[in-house]
Amino acid sequence: MFKHKLIALSAFLPLALGLAAAGSAPARTEPAAAGFEPGPELTAAASLAYNILSSSGYVYRPRPLDDAFSADIHRSYLEALDGQKLFFTRADIARFEPYRTRHDDAIRNQQLEPAYDIFATYVQRVDQRIAHARALLKQPFDFSGDETWHYDREDADWAADTAELDALWAKYVKNDALRLRLAGRDDDKIRATLDKRYADIAERAHELRADDVFEIYMNAYAGSIDPHTSYMSPRTAENFNMQMRLSLEGIGAVLQRQDDYVVVRTIVPGGPAANGGELKVGDRVVAVGQGATGPMVDVVGWRIDDVVELIRGKKGTTVRLDVLPAETGVDARPTQIAIVRDKVKLEQQAAQKRVIEVGDRRIGVIELPTFYADFEAMRRRDPEARSATRDVALLLKEMRAEGVDGVVVDLRDNGGGSLHEAIELTGLFIDTGPVVQVRKTGGRVEVASDLDAGVAWDGPLAVLVNRSSASASEIFAAAIQDYGRGLIIGEPTFGKGTVQRLVNLDQFVRRDDIRLGQIKLTEAQFFRVEGGTTQHAGVTPDLQFPVTLDASEFGESTYDNALPATRIARARHDSLGNLAALAPQLRANHEARVAEDLEFQWWAEDVATYRAERERKALSLNEDVRRAERDRREAQRQQRQAERKAAGLDADTLAQADDGLNEAERSVVEQARREEAAKTRPDPLLREAAAILADALDLLESDHQLTAQVLPLTRQPRVWAE
């Protein structure tokens, strides 16, 4: 054995409800277009951000804040507001032109008028466009022409004037209406659905406040240094830290905004809300009170992050919720529920295990969504401190006891996390040695190593990756590949080869009543132990699956200001295997197997279709053409259902036909149902990765000459004691 979418309009707007505001908010805010100015906390944050991001002591590749940098900030800010060029006209862009070389002075002097002036115009344009879109709904729909909607406008020119925008929006609205018609809705329902959809877009724009605009603007500044430098407002920073430690203090309910209500999306198992049993999925929160006697605050129409801030709180404190149960109307009498807050563990976002049977082989799978760690608990030397490595080690111990033959670490869609965790996790599979090389400002290279003797798993190993596997995922996969410790399977990874750190701005003011947020900045580049880099190139699998997105479409290579790829000297390390010798036979077995695998073939067909449609970047607005496309897809779906039934497989796991709705337009109960259905769908890629690892086991056990070629005669590491 060897060791070891169609683009929805909401996507055009910076309306992510995680955007933060300091303190609680009133139910309604003043219209953004009326104008507002940043307060002293925001100007202080701007000053600190400038000092940090201009310092070579902090930033790996600092840039002087000059007119050239200002022009990049200007472009990035406009892209953040109107990346698809559906609101501003060339006249607006011309009016903003004097600001192009003034952003450096604005940030340096904490005089941020350019950001707020541009934003005020943006909100006015949103109002105008939405009013036009809603007016178009009053006209008859005509889908008989040969018009085309080019939905990807990122590289398009700004509209010459309002008339050109009108024409663009006519196609935009027509496409939305056609989607709903193809889904079986009549004209009256189409108009009602779209009228509300567009009204909601304008309302969300007006809900943005000074601190929201500041965060967007500061990210235009930070992101112009490199793609992975950013500013996080206090709320964004807290949410980030919560995701890293996989815990929070609150009631244990996931909330979302729907219409004017904040609705319970899911209940976290084991949390206070779940244990109490009174709060249900679909319940609408209409008021929140603190403690046993605090006044109930009406939160109908509030932003979701403001409601979340009221509901979260310290462990042991009580929050009271007035809720309208999911089954009642809006005029029903609310039910009051008192919940004692507690520490809530986000287990669904932690490492999980499962076992896949491949013939007489049992292949264990560890699914790792992110490289998380509770840094604060680690600083306290808390023996129960949560981390990806700790959780994976426990899962490996369980799987050893269960007698699995091999392990697949599934890092698909794992965008990274803690560098420390990437190193520690690698140490679960190698004895001791370098894991990654880190080059900091000035060119100094440090070798980060696993120093703990022994391993948690010394058996066969594979790592499954895709294009969304990035950063820490690439460090782990590259180390496993460079050591020859395991097989890398999937598609080339994202290509991020830089290291970031967080700088808490609050440390510079040392006042409990002031929160300024955090800066995430690039402080180093990392390199493989072999001396190469994952920057741009990513990690190329030993056995590749069809590519969903290539480097020109998604990944580090798509960023104009990404650091260049370079190479450094190899770090001295042992080779634990020469897995290249296995590749030809594994590839032949793989190709023969997937040729008979319905699910894998369907996935490959869908990838090819997706890539072709993505390349086209346009949709016909002719009903006959679109209906023929929909009928073809539906016929394909029904054919697949029939084939699944004939093969004795569950036919209800296939994706449903497009209903024309955006996610938030479906009921929360329906959203939850769809999410659960998605979890039960077959995963042919994971199953095939397990089969490839089982093949490797069979080959090594049956061919001793091949085994001698693949595995050098090195000292086997000890497995950690039980």
Q: Quote the CA–CA distance of 537 and 540 in Å, as a whole number.
A: 8
Residue tagged active-site, from 471, 542, 597, 620: 471
SS (H, E, C) 427-450: CCCCCCEEEEEEEECCCCEEEEEE
Residue tagged active-site, from 176, 496, 542, 683: 496
Of 104-118, 492-506, 694-708, minimum mean pLDDT range = 694-708
Residue tagged active-site, from 226, 374, 405, 482: 482
Tens digits of per-residue pLDDT, 529-546?
A: 999 999 999 999 999 999
Model confidence band, residue 26 (pLDDT cutoffs 50, 70, 90)? very low
Q: What is the CATH number of domain 247-345?
A: 2.30.42.10
Predicted local distance difference test score (pLDDT) of residue 675:
82
| Domain boundaries along the sequence of the chain | 9-225, 247-345, 348-710
Predicted local distance difference test score (pLDDT) of residue 202:
95
Q: Reply yes or no on domain 348-710 having CATH 3.90.226.10.
A: yes
Of 273-277, 384-388, 509-513, 617-621, minimum mean pLDDT range = 509-513
C-beta contacts of 324-327 below 8 A and 24+ residues apart = 324/261, 324/283, 324/284, 324/286, 325/280, 325/282, 325/283, 326/280, 326/281, 326/282, 326/283, 326/284, 326/668, 326/669, 327/282
For the entire predicted model, the pTM comes to 0.90
Active site annotation includes 496:
yes
Predicted local distance difference test score (pLDDT) of residue 645:
86
Q: Quote the CA–CA distance of 518 and 237 in Å, as a whole number.
A: 6
Predicted local distance difference test score (pLDDT) of residue 580:
87
Tens digits of per-residue pLDDT, 161-192?
A: 999 999 999 999 999 999 999 999 999 999 99
Tens digits of per-residue pLDDT, 98-148?
A: 999 999 999 999 999 999 999 999 999 999 999 999 999 999 999 999 999
Other C-beta atoms closer than 10 Å to the C-beta of 192 total 12
Active site annotation includes 667:
no
Tens digits of per-residue pLDDT, 367-422?
A: 999 999 998 888 888 888 899 999 999 999 999 999 999 999 999 999 999 999 99
